[in-house]
Amino acid sequence: MITAIVLIGADRDVLPELGGTLADVAGVAEAYSVTGDWDFACIVRVPRHEQLAEVISGTIAKLTGVSRTQTMVAFEAFSRHDLDAMFDVGNPAPDER
């Protein structure tokens, strides 16, 4: 499975509805409204790299009010347990406490 994080800038007048619209796009696993330079962040998961273009350029970028996107393709995934183990040096894992 290919995972990408897509940052989305949008026109202010579409912000109330765009989150739900993004969540309904095939291939979008999660959609979040966020603070900062971007308005939304989506997690896109597709079986093949070629499908990223279909979802992002072919659908998300064409939605009414979407002004810009930035896509980051994930190389490696870490579970919460893996991250806890990395940063809790010397402490037992949460399930061992």
Which pair of tokens denotes residue 48?
């093949």
Number of domains in the chain: 1
| pLDDT score for 34 | 98
Which parts of the chain sit beneath pLDDT 50?
Answer: none
CATH number at residue 9: 3.30.70.920
How far apart (Å, rounded) are the C-alpha atoms in residues 61 and 83?
Answer: 32
Task: Please say whether the beta carbons of 9 and 43 come within 8 A.
Answer: no
Which pair of tokens denotes residue 74?
């994930």
Q: Which residue range is the domain that position 89 belongs to?
A: 2-96
**Over the range 26-57, which residues count as b (16 or more CB within 10 Å of their CB) and which as e?**
ebbeebeeeeeebbbbbebbbeeeebbeebbe
| pLDDT score for 79 | 73
- Which residues does 82 contact at the CB level (< 8 Å), separation at least 6? none
| pLDDT score for 96 | 56
